[in-house]
Structure 1
């Protein structure tokens, strides 16, 4: 984005801050807090403890974290931890104590992880070792077809215990449950009348599920993988707390609620990983629990969980799913949440489903995860599918429940070919949707041997970009700080039905700059209040509720929406591709002309000001005019450079509109002080741009100075560089005839993967993504200029050759004067 010269005092403030600037609150008012936020807003990476641990090395790595702007971490045992350091054993706890003490001494924050390794709930198998009855359970179904009349004795199952036997008339591959016969007593005899019958015997069996452990030999499918526990059994979960939570408290109680601020629980699974096929989650008392919650017996209807059973099939499945969710909430999440509240820390982490919003109300710090390249910048997955909802999932709960933070575990298993380009795009994707705490997955204690391939990449000190990581870390800290302790301005809610988050309407809202939160059906019924023509839900006020649901709504939900509509509120139904009719009658927060479907925004109030976070989610530049509902004195803040700039008016004829220009992967914050009148800025005329190609000749050298004769192309075509991963240096000289008052920009064209530029011995900057453009006004000189471009390729070329990326400086390299 092109700006006049930045405000010098604020740039000096940013440049003079010490390396540990985030540890102290600056004294420069709200601008100072934007530039140098507190340490708590830092990224909190998963720190894989995956090798022989040494306290001196732990301290050294923590110092490296701080040097690159990372002031917290999640201690996470991972495969590769030696057997000599058993999870939750004395040596493990002693190293954890050392790390927490060191964090307290240096102003860092620590989140504990409650499992070794995942999913949570087993305490690395200790729960089941303490009582084999606590093993995860499932409901199995064994069918036999019988022609009546006939008598059939129900025998005890070979495995597990009998839940019920149900005999139903066959109807092709389906069954007819009308007139079904049922018994839950072993040894009882069934008398089957004439006809074709299917008799299904249901048994509660061990699921055989496991978790991934922290030692070699404990991965999926390996005999040492720890057994999963029964998370639907409250006594089993109490044992989990005893083995996984209490030892941490006993070891660290003086740090709880201070340095140790949270405990992370990770995608609990009722069956565990690799469970026997064809099971439904189960526990001993579930049938009675279902009758109590749903008001009818499940036993005669059990076939509907495994096969088509007529018109009641879908209702039975939905009721069963709801019962499981409610029970898991009570037996697992509620117990963990209460334990954390009682011990002065917050429960954080996430459930197993991307759009699983219901359990998040029980998290003091709700979260979700984004892993396995489910969402990628520039791809439809950013707006389509269940995974596209994860950011609004956690942020909506946080806003309704007045939770100060909400989080996302991000980048896990994105592979060594993950780029900083993708990292920035995904971080922006989360933050503009309201996520204000990032758990990067992961920083590795060690990448020795196969440890480098455990759900990579290592984002931290074993990655090539680590020396330049601080700029990215500071950037996310600034935006997370802005989004915390602020009030969201948002008029629109999208209804969530049955723990499902729709994305069809959401996609249109994003592309047309209408912010929203997801509103669960239960919350609509239990927490909403009508205030005139608005709906109050916690601190939020809604004027429009959108229903993106094709099936009829439950009667109480429909009645609540009807009452809102009668009070003057807006209700819109999205049952096809949405149009502007979806938000007709709504006073929009901002208007964009010309339309820009790649522009995203979030509007928050803080410091008595209004702040608009504007993000470019597209693959090209944005150049448009935006009229904001809030009027006042406006100013731009660039969170990447920590610079402030005047906000320029758009062209004449667009009263009050502000020109918004965003490069690819750029986000800016517009601050508006409503107590001050708008400044009538006159747009600066755009002088013609002068371009001069920089054609070389170029010299290419490695770190030792060895010269490599290559043109500007992919260096992998050279036999000696085919498998090279690292940094090479391009050098050339060019002549420039500079003029006072002009600004000069260097455009490198294509780069694989990222670059640091030096001009005349002065470092100009680093760029991790296109466009690879640099303001060189302060470095260029009239006459001869010496240019050095250091290019670093992807670490995939080292660790994952099948995912190797193009490497080098490709050009064309151009100097522009304006």
Structure 2
């Protein structure tokens, strides 16, 4: 039997299997759907839990863990950071020194309680980032090569040696024409100069010259945002000695605090070891790996002068990647395995780790929502797809809607959807600031992050938000990744472009993988993975199309792999030109000749071509491989990602724009049945025989689908279902930032969950004519709720707690009495309905549409939803005392069909705003004494933007009826 079909058969019969990460995932549509309503807890989002100081006490730690669980979070990563306050015995503030017995006791306590509450615990193997601290001597600190040119006047026979400080060593000395400000690095001569009493002897010459000293030095970088007692040098990530020392002095005590219950994972934040490009034995390691001595070429490497600079810098930077792989990533991952835990790593930044470096860690993690650009997140997800890491996390919501306390639930969704579209399936929220008992509301905030704890007024909808994140994360773990296009990252070109003290693949790759290249591929109807030469060689994963983005340098071995790929029917498109240079310096002329010969051979094969520029790529992609999901218009607004099951295909589809999308789509996958799965509550709606639209928000306006010529309709399948499965064009209507899941299958799916309640108490959907329904519908206003509302603020007390009649729905922040109020405002109204008015198929409480913003407000960093909601910022709706659902994202509607009754109906809308309104009414904290005691370890971001935001129910509220035509 064909091995492929044997594998499919095994998947179908076995149903579920456990991945190497220990998380069970499923291969068949039936099994995936069976767990849709109640996904496993391991798919719940997590939070980064900042312990400031750390000044933590056990009762508050336990309260915050319980709040996390109540909000739907599945666990946390402990991250001790800088103090927020001075010790204050009267208030119970005591900063516990990092790794002190009291600090480790708090870690142990939290671990025990977390296991009781079934919460996942991850531990950062340091305080702040990158790894380092007081145990790092200067001889193990992050290293760099320092260049010190000195003028040598005409006739001089000696020169003062540069001062060599602690942790430094003179590596090489060069002499040549020029002066300290300008010299030709290619003409400097490596010279051994005898020295005495701090001066080096030089043979005199008639002309002025320059002496250039190359000194192995240290960057001096200190750990960023360190906790009390964790201050010190960032360690040398290219030194095994430094890593082993850190593991023994920091990681081991932390692990002992966990006792017999190790953390689920240990964590390393993004590599931000600024200015590093050296280590003590770099020259010896370079010669061993590259086959020649780098010392004579140091002036060329560090100046960039001469025709060989690029090749030399490529070899120099590649050596750094190999060292960080072998001496940092591998030892930490091995250490984690030895201690029965996993290494979760943000493997990007400086030093220059590569996409394939992620193969060395158990849990790759990304950062950044740039779905249509090069992103660190796609590095991690691609590595997961290539190397079989089924769970791929991302630090999410960093800098979201700055300043702190401005972020909304919709902001969370907008960024999360971009992460999902890149393949993320575990969210690490950034973050949860520990706040001591008695602290002034709204509590602590990290200097550069949003706040997602129960100090936010809109915490009332957090279970609905986390349920969405949990369900989508669960779905994107199922089956196998299915991107058909890969971008082969030009690592060698980026290495060659590296500069001293800034050696990073991830920071510079955007010059080759441009936004236009990403746009061309995505708009051609494909999602995309990144690939590099190592993964092409070792991963075993194959793509129908490989794109080479502005690749000049390429190893002959990589070209041979591409020739093999094309020979087996694969396609290759090069953007801007063919590979034409050897990647490195050794034997460059001979290797370049071979590269050009192989390149000509490759591009003579069928299915291999060059396009002149980025703008021509999309058409070439469309000619090479059929679109996976083709969007006929507004393609830039719609993103998708597909997971392939043994008997079906799962598409997560999202409108990433702030405006409604009305378009048609065609799906390449050929399956007999189709259904919408609601990512908010897990209900399902099959696409029926008379389906006219793949739409949930406006089915009545969808166009009639027309079957394509030559499409075979499966026996027993509805015409539209078969059309959807076989690639016909079908109408798609998406509200701003709306997302949903399309599932195509070979066999009929489970019966839909009709009129099911959302697991988190969200909107009732899935009823006949509900979201995902595909029959033609007519919609009409049953009652316009323009007046009759009363508003009260029960938590405020006093007169504000008493209901007051409203003449119009306006922002309560416009009222001086409530301008600085952060909390919940309760809107109530009574409406009388007759039995004859309740006969509609479906009745919805509609709050209006959002207002798209045409330009970005003054948010200096991060992102936000570019939509002003009619509900600011979230609401829970009750009808006749029963919870009808939550309102926090478009479409702003709640199904109330089953909750209305003849006679008087009480509608209550509990609207929550933002904590920033309260913050705007307070003086900013004075950190002068804190900084005097501990040094300035943080600066709160964007405090000049703190101002009250519109609050309350602001749209036109209506009861709408929906009926089948």
TM-score range, shorter chain: 0.7 to 0.9
2:396 to 410, 415, 420: 410
What displacement does 1:174 show? Answer: 5.5
Report the secondary structure of 2:266's partner residue: strand
Corresponding residue for residue 9 of structure 1: none
- Map 1:658-807; keep pairs closer than 5 Å: 659-676=731-748, 683-687=774-778, 689-690=780-781, 693-703=784-794, 704=797, 705-707=801-803, 711-734=808-831, 738-749=837-848, 750-781=870-901, 785-799=905-919, 802-804=945-947, 805-807=949-951
2:299 to 284, 298, 303: 303
Change in CA separation of 1:551 and 1:363 when aligned onto 2, cut-off 3 Å: same
Question: Does the aligned pair in 2 maintain the 1:212–1:226 contact within 8 Å?
Answer: no
Report the secondary structure of 1:765's partner residue: strand
Distance in 2 (CA, whole Å) between partners of 1:328 and 1:451 is: 36
What displacement does 1:367 show? Answer: 0.8
Report the secondary structure of 1:612's partner residue: strand
Question: Does the aligned pair in 2 maintain the 1:636–1:644 contact within 8 Å?
Answer: yes
Distance in 1 (CA, whole Å) between partners of 2:48 and 2:140 is: 29
Distance in 2 (CA, whole Å) between partners of 1:236 and 1:356 is: 21
Corresponding residue for residue 359 of structure 1: 357
1:285 to 257, 281, 286: 281
1:617 has 2:638 as partner: no
1:125 has 2:197 as partner: no
Corresponding residue for residue 102 of structure 1: 113
Corresponding residue for residue 598 of structure 2: none
Residues 305-346 of structure 1 deviation map (CA, whole Å, 9 limit, x = unaligned): 554523333333333322222212222111101111222221
2:488 to 495, 501, 509: 495
1:179 has 2:179 as partner: no
What displacement does 1:365 show? Answer: 0.6
Change in CA separation of 1:808 and 1:451 when aligned onto 2, cut-off 3 Å: closer
What displacement does 1:734 show? Answer: 4.6
1:576 has 2:614 as partner: yes
1:164 has 2:172 as partner: yes
Corresponding residue for residue 221 of structure 1: none
Distance in 2 (CA, whole Å) between partners of 1:454 and 1:89 is: 25
2:231 to 215, 221, 225: 225
What displacement does 1:519 show? Answer: 0.7
Corresponding residue for residue 400 of structure 1: 386
Residues 589-646 of structure 1 deviation map (CA, whole Å, 9 limit, x = unaligned): 3334456332222221347442222222121233434334131222221121221112
Question: Does the aligned pair in 1 maintain the 2:845–2:959 contact within 8 Å?
Answer: yes
Distance in 2 (CA, whole Å) between partners of 1:772 and 1:170 is: 71
Change in CA separation of 1:125 and 1:607 when aligned onto 2, cut-off 3 Å: farther
Corresponding residue for residue 475 of structure 1: 468
1:433 has 2:422 as partner: yes
What displacement does 1:195 show? Answer: 5.3
Greater percentage in strand: 1
What displacement does 1:178 show? Answer: 3.4
Task: Identify which range, 318-327 or 498-507, moves more after superposition.
Answer: 498-507
Change in CA separation of 1:239 and 1:683 when aligned onto 2, cut-off 3 Å: closer
Residues 63-117 of structure 1 deviation map (CA, whole Å, 9 limit, x = unaligned): 2222222222112212238765222222222222222222223322221210112
Distance in 2 (CA, whole Å) between partners of 1:463 and 1:730 is: 19
1:322 has 2:322 as partner: no
Report the secondary structure of 1:811's partner residue: coil
1:809 to 944, 950, 953: 953
Report the secondary structure of 2:150's partner residue: strand
Report the secondary structure of 1:91's partner residue: helix
Corresponding residue for residue 49 of structure 1: 51
1:391 has 2:377 as partner: yes
1:64 has 2:67 as partner: yes
Change in CA separation of 1:280 and 1:55 when aligned onto 2, cut-off 3 Å: closer
Distance in 1 (CA, whole Å) between partners of 2:37 and 2:467 is: 9
Corresponding residue for residue 15 of structure 1: none
Distance in 2 (CA, whole Å) between partners of 1:208 and 1:172 is: 24
Change in CA separation of 1:439 and 1:803 when aligned onto 2, cut-off 3 Å: same
Change in CA separation of 1:730 and 1:250 when aligned onto 2, cut-off 3 Å: closer
Residues 486-511 of structure 1 deviation map (CA, whole Å, 9 limit, x = unaligned): 21123221111214552432222223
Question: Does the aligned pair in 1 maintain the 2:687–2:774 contact within 8 Å?
Answer: no
Structure 2: runs of 5+ lacking an equivalent: 1-22, 85-92, 492-504, 576-612, 693-703, 709-722, 725-729, 752-771, 849-869, 920-942
Question: Does the aligned pair in 2 maintain the 1:175–1:310 contact within 8 Å?
Answer: no
Distance in 2 (CA, whole Å) between partners of 1:413 and 1:356 is: 25
Residues 519-551 of structure 1 deviation map (CA, whole Å, 9 limit, x = unaligned): 112322x32xxxxxxxxx43x331110111253
Question: Does the aligned pair in 2 maintain the 1:125–1:228 contact within 8 Å?
Answer: no
Distance in 2 (CA, whole Å) between partners of 1:427 and 1:736 is: 40
Structure 1: runs of 5+ lacking an equivalent: 1-21, 219-223, 272-278, 376-380, 528-536
Change in CA separation of 1:149 and 1:585 when aligned onto 2, cut-off 3 Å: same
Distance in 2 (CA, whole Å) between partners of 1:304 and 1:706 is: 77
Distance in 2 (CA, whole Å) between partners of 1:106 and 1:323 is: 46
Distance in 2 (CA, whole Å) between partners of 1:545 and 1:559 is: 14
Residues 92-147 of structure 1 deviation map (CA, whole Å, 9 limit, x = unaligned): 22222222222223322221210112222x1x32233xxx4223333222223446
Corresponding residue for residue 33 of structure 1: 35
Change in CA separation of 1:506 and 1:638 when aligned onto 2, cut-off 3 Å: same
Distance in 2 (CA, whole Å) between partners of 1:246 and 1:253 is: 11
Report the secondary structure of 1:579's partner residue: helix
Distance in 1 (CA, whole Å) between partners of 2:172 and 2:139 is: 20
- Map 1:635-646; keep pairs closer than 5 Å: 635-646=675-686
Corresponding residue for residue 79 of structure 1: 82
Corresponding residue for residue 11 of structure 1: none
Corresponding residue for residue 701 of structure 2: none
Distance in 1 (CA, whole Å) between partners of 2:74 and 2:358 is: 26
Residues 223-279 of structure 1 deviation map (CA, whole Å, 9 limit, x = unaligned): x832222222211110111022222333435223xxx221101224445xxxxxxx5
Distance in 2 (CA, whole Å) between partners of 1:595 and 1:268 is: 37
Corresponding residue for residue 459 of structure 2: 466
Distance in 2 (CA, whole Å) between partners of 1:667 and 1:103 is: 33
Residues 633-679 of structure 1 deviation map (CA, whole Å, 9 limit, x = unaligned): 22221121221112243324135035543322222222222145999
Change in CA separation of 1:90 and 1:683 when aligned onto 2, cut-off 3 Å: closer
What displacement does 1:693 show? Answer: 3.5
Distance in 2 (CA, whole Å) between partners of 1:437 and 1:652 is: 36
Distance in 1 (CA, whole Å) between partners of 2:847 and 2:357 is: 48
Corresponding residue for residue 928 of structure 2: none
Distance in 2 (CA, whole Å) between partners of 1:282 and 1:593 is: 51
2:212 to 188, 193, 200: 200
What displacement does 1:29 show? Answer: 4.8
Distance in 1 (CA, whole Å) between partners of 2:888 and 2:187 is: 67
Question: Does the aligned pair in 1 maintain the 2:820–2:918 contact within 8 Å?
Answer: yes
Corresponding residue for residue 244 of structure 1: 250
Change in CA separation of 1:477 and 1:150 when aligned onto 2, cut-off 3 Å: same
Residues 536-580 of structure 1 deviation map (CA, whole Å, 9 limit, x = unaligned): x43x33111011125354444334323433443210123322322
Corresponding residue for residue 141 of structure 2: 135
